[in-house]
Structure 1
Amino acid sequence: MSRSLDELTGLVSKVSDIYASRNDIARDDDWYLLKVQEELGELAAEYLRLTRRGRMKGADPETVRQALEDEAADVLAMLLLFAQNNAIDLDAALERKWFKYLGRSPAV
């Protein structure tokens, strides 16, 4: 199922609210950026494992591949939350920064 960035952000935000409530976590401006960094580090660790440049810790390649995918989802989720917290319109930023090379006019 394909979802828009706004839909994904809304769903991720609900999960983040549950996580913060259950774990008594105060999510301030720093928290969002630090979580992006934390999740990116975990993604890098799984990539190193998958490419045999990190310790497998007894895991098989399929398990490591799933962990890599899960960490990629975590990075995306935290980036969406960071953008929401900082009033960043990712759709507009992508249009301005990336899609201009496709000869598209900016979104209105």
Structure 2
Amino acid sequence: MRPDSDAARAQIAALTQAVGQVSETYAVRCDIDRDRDWAALKLSEETGELVAAYLKTTGRGRREGVAEDELRQGLEDEAADVMAMLLIFADQNGIDLAAALERKWFRYLR
């Protein structure tokens, strides 16, 4: 089943606006200069943190006595960070994620 491209575009836009507001609040509160490279660098950082959390949940990273449910929550939280930073990166670079997904992935659903 192919996603409704208008609905997907609206959902991505709403998510982008929401994470943008959080990012702006965080930047002001922590005095962060979000220059032109900031989103790309943060996306890379968050991806590394996601991989580290994944390694812990799969027993290939130091767990340091952390409970399974906390490890799982950490993995989910890092996945959310990656998604948020991808939305911010795409927005800052004029990338239409809905169109890119349609072109790159969903064409195989035709």
TM over 0.5: yes
Aligned-partner Cα distance in 1 for 2:65–2:29: 31
Structure 1 segments unaligned to the other structure (5+ residues)? 104-108
Q: Which runs of 4+ in 1 moved over 4 A?
A: none
Cα deviation code 1:52-107 (max 9, x no counterpart): 0000012011100000000000000000000000010000111111111111xxxx
Structure 2 segments unaligned to the other structure (5+ residues)? 1-9
Deviation at 1:29, TM superposition (A): 1.7
Aligned-partner Cα distance in 1 for 2:21–2:55: 31
Matched, 1:77 2:84: yes
| Aligned-CA RMSD value | 0.9
Aligned length: 101
Aligned-partner Cα distance in 2 for 1:97–1:52: 33
Match of 1:7 in 2: 14
Aligned-partner Cα distance in 1 for 2:63–2:20: 32
* Percent sequence identity over aligned pairs: 58
TM-score by length of 2: 0.89
**Other structure's SS at 2:102 match:** helix
Which AA in structure 2 matches 1:84? D
TM-score by length of 1: 0.91
Aligned-partner Cα distance in 2 for 1:58–1:21: 35
Aligned-partner Cα distance in 1 for 2:53–2:62: 9
Match of 2:74 in 1: 67
Match of 1:106 in 2: none
Matched, 1:27 2:31: no
